[in-house]
Each structure stands twice: as structure tokens, then as C-alpha cells.
Structure 1
Amino acid sequence: MLTYIGRRVLLMVPVLFAISVVAFVIIQLPPGDYLTTLVSQLQAQGDTVDQAQLAQLSARYGLDDPVFVQYLKWITNILFHGDFGTSFAWNKPVSSLLAERLPLTIVLAVTTLLFTWVVAFPIGVYSAVRQYSAGDYAATTLGFLGLAIPEFLIALVLMWIGLNYFGQSVGGLFSPEWQDEPWNLGKLIDLLSHLWVPVVVLGMAGTAGLIRVLRANLLDELHKPYVIAARARGMPERRLTIKYPLRVALNPFVSTVGWVLPGLVSGEVIVAQVLSLPTTGPLLLDSLKSQDMYLAGSVILIVSVLTVIGTLISDIALAWLDPRVRLRYR
């Protein structure tokens, strides 16, 4: 097992390098650069463009250098100095922007993952054990609705419900009076009162998908010979279900840790725009629209690093949960 973990950690290095190269190149593919976007915006507003100032900015940010030179400067500064560069649009260090947005993004992602597990686990087990019952049909219907309805529409509905029935504006993660306050117990409670809406919205599709997967896997295990033999020997049904087939059917819960973060970030971009969330989703969208390459590349790189680490953790947890996986590693 230790050999497997060491091999996976070593493989993470070329994977992350390839991801950083591909991300940086893709950001450079659209025609023009940040200055081109800036000139277009100024001309649309009727302002004049100072060519000398543009040349100075181009030299300052190294936009005249070839793409591979820009990439080497960027990745070298990250690896040896922890410097992610300067955001063109914000005129601030990228690290400071990430320090403001990334913690809230991680809190939202982890909370959504826990919500998905807590809701999907009992419903999926019930649907499999009580197949074709009224509860199974209700869970199936809700699951299909969760997969079919767009997340931004659910966000708008929940915002309307919160405003009309609870008298609370659920946009953002903080109330206006707590927005710029230092962290304390009151601000934490205010965060929790706003957090449930994006958690429900982002977790709806994942919860519905996990319910269907857990139901299908558990139904498949419940009809296997070892379960039938244990039932014939008189083992109680509840103990039988928990001890053997449910343990095997839980594999999707563990294996989803790795890809849940990029899925949340990609789904969060539109939802964050609707709910005005101060997370990395809108930051990434704005940086791509303005061709702010250092900011966009840094966000993509950090999300990729967290994804690779999450995949490693999920694989280790899966090996601990399922003996068959451990035997395959050996």
C-alpha cells in the first residue's frame, strides 16, 4: 500500500506540470491579450488610448514575450518564490485575491459534499431496500427533477422563497452589515444563515446522481449469491444489509471526493453570479473574459492541485474501505 501511495505521489508531479502547461496555453489561444481587451473597452466608452502607456504596460507584464517565456516566468515564480503574478484587471497580487476567495470556496465545496452524502445515503439505501415502494418512486422523481432542473433556476426559486416567506435576502454569503467586519461568532452565524442556499443549489444534482448510483449498486449486491446464502442461514436482514452489500455499494461515495471540487467550481460559476457569492467562480469567469492570464492560470492550477490531491485521498480511502481494491494493489 505504501508503494502504491509513493508511486501515485510521484505521478502527481508530471500530471500537475502537464495541467499547468495546457491551462496556460489554452488561456493564450484567443486572439489578442489583456491590453487588447482593455483598448476595446476604452474605445467603446469613447476614451482615447495612449499608445505609449500601452507599450509600457506590455513591457511591464511581458506580453511581448513568446508564450513559453511567459509560462516559464510564471511557473518559476510560483515554484521558487510563491509568487502567482499580478492580476492585470485588479492591479493586485494574485495571491491576495486567492487568499480572499479560496477559503470560502473550499468551505462551500466541503459543506456541499457533506450535504450530498448526508442526504443521498439514507434515501439511496431506502430506495434499494424498499424497491418499487411509494418512497422509492418519490425519491426517483425527486432525483430526476434534481438532475433536470438547472442550478441557476433552483437558486432563483430559493431566493424568492427566502425573501417572500422568511423576509431574508439570501444573496451572497454575508449580510451587508457583516460584509467587511472581522471574523467573530456573529459573522460565523451570519455565514451559516446564508450558506444553506448555495449548498442546496450546488448539491442538488450531485445528491440526485448519488442516490441513483447507490440504489443501483445496492440492488445489484442484494441479489448476489453471498447475500442469498447469508439470508438462508438466518442472518437478520438489517445486519446483513449493513455488513456486506452496503459496504461494497458505498464505493461511489468515496470515489467522488476527487472530482467533486472541479464539478462544484464549474457549476458554481453561474450560481455564484446569480447569488453574488464571493468565491473563485466569478473571479475565474472575469479573468477569462478579460484575458487576465496570470489570475486565470493560477485559479485553474490551484483547483487542479486540489483535484489531484482529492483523487489521491479518495483512492486511499477506497482501498481502506474495499478489500478487493487492496488485493489488486498488492
Structure 2
Amino acid sequence: MFRYILTRCAAMIPTLILASLVIFTIIQLPPGDYVETYIGELLASGESVDMARVEYLRAEYGLDQPMWKRYLLWIGNFVTGDFGYSFEYQRPVSEVVGNRLWLTILVSFATIILTWVIAFPIGIYSATHQYSWGDYGLTFFGLLGLATPNFLLALVMMYFAQTIFGVSIGGLMDAEYIDQPMSWDKFKSILEHLIVPTIVIGTSGTAAMIRRIRANLLDELQKQYVTTARAKGVPPFKALVKYPLRMSLNFFVADIGSLLPAIISGAEIVAIVLSLQTTGPLLIAALQSQDMYLAGSFLMFLATLTVIGVLLSDILLGFLDPRIRLTGGASK
């Protein structure tokens, strides 16, 4: 196991280098740069452009350097913990992202907990009561949740909240608490506003997990070792939990690779619809304005979390399922 972990950690280095090259290249593909976008916004608003300032900005941000030199500067600073300077916000990237990061993590964790609490009991019930009325009903609502886009559900909930209750459910806090230091009243406001985005974002994820738990558990329940355990008189709950449920959770552990970056990135479209102060809209705005250090550093951070998550899921799968061998090679 230790040798396997060392090998995988060594393989992470070229993977991240390749990811950084791809990210930097994609960010540079659109024509122009942030300064040109800034000039276009000035001209569109009828303001004059000071070319001396334009040249100063290019030199200040290193935009007059060759692409390879900009890449080396960016990735070198990223490794040392310097994520660059945001052109749009005129602040270091760490400060821009840090203001929204904890809100994103809060929303994501609340959504994940809601998904697990609802999906596991329903998925297990549907698998152990196959083709019952309860199974049919839960399957219907699961398919309904999968078929409904999150942003559409957000729009519907916003409409009914405004027309029926006369309240706005946008944002993660009341307007008076924005840009204010954390306090007990602000925290209560965040908790009150957290309910709707948690339900909206978690709907499709819960429905998908219910279907996957049901399918995987049904597959395990039909295997010979379950029949043997029942024939030997093993109690039904123990016969369900000890092996079939454990073996059916392989997909759940394997999803850790995508779960870690999802916690940080958040649901971008839903965040825009509900005006959430999370990192999703920040990333989209950075890509639109070609704020290369903000967008590039954020995407590189997500790539790093993905690689770490995949490593963790592979290690946990080895402990969860003895049929998975991490050492490779054929067994006789």
C-alpha cells in the first residue's frame, strides 16, 4: 500500500504540470487580453482611452511578455502560494476568492449532508422492496428530480416565494450584512437563506444517488453469498449491512474525486440565478473578463483537488472492497 501511494503521488506531478499547461493555454486562446477588454468597456461607455496608461497596464501585469514567460511566472508563483493579482478586483487572488470560499464550502457541505441523509434510506428501501408501491413512488420522484434542471427549480421557487409569500429568496444573507464582519445576526441570516439553495442544488444530486444506490444494492442482493447468508439464518439486517451494502458503496467512494472540487466550485448556474455570494459566479466573471490570474489559479486549484480526491478514493476503495487489488499483477 505504501509503495502504491508513493507511486501515485509521483504520478500526480506530471499530471498537474500537464493540467497547468492546458489551463493556461485555454485561458490564452480567446483573442486579446484583459487590457483590451478593459479598453472595449471604456469605448462602449463613451470614455476616452489613455494609451500611456494602456502600455503601463500591460507592463505592470506582464501582458507584454511572451506566453511561455508568463506561464513560468504564473506557475512558479502558484507553487509558492502566490496566486497572482486580480485585474478586475485590483486585489490579490487569495483575498478575492477567500471572501467567498467559506460561503461556498458552507453551501456545498449542507447540500452534501442533505443528499446523503435523504438518498441512503430511500435507496436502501427501494432496493429491499423492489417493485412495491413505495419503490414505484420513490422511483417516480427520483426521475422527476433528475429531469428537472436546478436553475429551473430555482426560478420556480423564486417566483412562488415572491408572488405567494412576498419574500425574496435570493442571496445568502440579508442586504445589510453584505461586506460586514461575521456576527451572530449575520450567521442566523445565512442559515435562514441557506435552506433554499441547499434544496435546489441537492435535488438532482439526491435523485441520482438514490438511483445509483438502488441499482448497485440490487446487483449485490442477487449474488450467491447473500443467498447463502440467508440460508444459514443470518439476521436480515446483518445480512444486508455487513456485505451487500458495503460492496454497493464502491461508486460512493469513487465519487470523492469529483466531490472535493465540487465543494469549492459550487453550482455556478444556480448561484447566478439565486445571486449567491459563492465562487461559481466569480469564476464565470473572471473567464468572461479574461482575468487570467484569477481564473487560472482557481481552475488550477480545482485540478489539484481533483487529483487528490482521485488518490483518496482509490485508497479508500482498497480498504472498502477486498476484491480491489492496488498492487497490480495477476493472481493465481
TM-score when normalising by structure 2: 0.92
Q: Secondary structure at the match of 1:174?
A: coil
Output the CA distance in 2 between the equivalents of 1:271 and 1:202: 7
Q: Which residue of 2 aligns with 1:54?
A: 54
The residue number in structure 2 matching 1:192 is 191
Q: Which amino acid aligns with 1:12?
A: M
| Alignment-derived partner of residue 211 in structure 2 | 212
2: CA distance between counterparts of 1:87 and 1:65? 18
- Equivalent-residue separation in structure 2 for 1:23 and 1:293 (angstroms): 10
Q: Are residue 291 (structure 1) and residue 290 (structure 2) matched?
A: yes
Tell me if the contact between 2:104 and 2:266 (Cα under 8 Å) persists in the aligned partners. no
* Matched ranges for 1:54-73 at <5 A: 54-73=54-73
Taking structure 1 as reference, are residues 317 and 228 closer, same or farther at Cα in structure 2, changes over 3 Å only?
Answer: same
Equivalent residue, structure 2, for 1:28: 28
Is 1:144 matched up with 2:143? yes
The structure-2 alpha-carbon separation of the partners of 1:8 and 1:168, relative to structure 1 and needing over 3 Å to count, comes to farther
Q: Which residue of 2 aligns with 1:233?
A: 232
Distance in 1 (CA, whole Å) between partners of 2:55 and 2:140 is: 59
Deviations 1:242-299 (A, max 9, x none): 1111111112222212213445666711111111111111111111111111110011
1:328 CA drift (Å): 4.1
Matched, 1:128 2:130: no
Q: Which amino acid aligns with 1:47?
A: E
CA positional deviation for 1:165: 5.6
Contact 1:113 1:260 in 2 (8 A): no
Which ranges of structure 1 fall in alignment gaps of 5 or more residues? Answer: none
| Counterpart Cα distance in 2 of 1:121 and 1:83 | 41
Tell me the equivalent position of 2:300: 301
**Aligned mates of 2:98, 2:180 — CA distance in 1:** 16
Q: What SS class does the counterpart of residue 181 from structure 1 fall into? A: coil
Cα distance in 1 between the residues matched to 2:85 and 2:191: 32
Q: CA deviation at 1:178?
A: 2.6
- Range with greater deviation from structure 2 (193-202 or 20-29): 193-202
Is 2:266–2:278's contact at 8 Å kept on the other side of the alignment? no
Q: Does 2:222 correspond to 1:245?
A: no
TM superposition score normalised by structure 1: 0.93
Which amino acid in 1 is paired with 2:31?
P
What is the rounded CA distance, in whole Å, between the counterparts of 1:27 and 1:110 in structure 2? 29
Change (3 A) 1:163 1:329: farther
Contact 2:78/2:297 (<8 A) preserved: no
Q: CA deviation at 1:221?
A: 0.8
Kept after mapping to 1: 8 A contact 2:4/2:326: no
CA separation of 1:12 and 1:328: change in aligned 2, threshold 3 A: closer
Q: Secondary structure, in 3 states, of the residue corresponding to 2:323?
A: helix
- Identical-residue share of aligned pairs (%): 52
Aligned residue in 2 for 1:78: 78
Give deviations 1:75-96, integer Å, cap 9, x for gaps: 112223x221111111111111
Aligned length: 328
Structure 1 counterpart of 2:61, one-letter code:
Y
> Which residue identity is paired with 2:106?
V
* CA–CA distance in structure 2, aligned partners of residues 265 and 153 of structure 1: 22
- C-alpha spacing 1:147/1:261, structure 2 compared with 1 (3 Å): farther
Q: Distance between the aligned counterparts of 1:14 and 1:116, measured in 2?
A: 35
Segments of structure 2 that go 5 or more residues without pairing to the other structure are none
More deviation, 105-114/62-71: 105-114
Conserved in 2, the CA contact under 8 Å of 1:159 and 1:169?
Answer: yes
Cα distance in 1 for residues equivalent to 2:178 and 2:326? 51
SS in 1 for 2:277: coil
Tell me whether 274-283 or 312-321 shows the greater mean CA deviation: 312-321
Distance 1:10 1:86, change over 3 A: same
Deviates more, 1:128-137 or 1:230-239: 230-239
Which residue of the partner structure matches residue 116 of structure 1?
A: 115
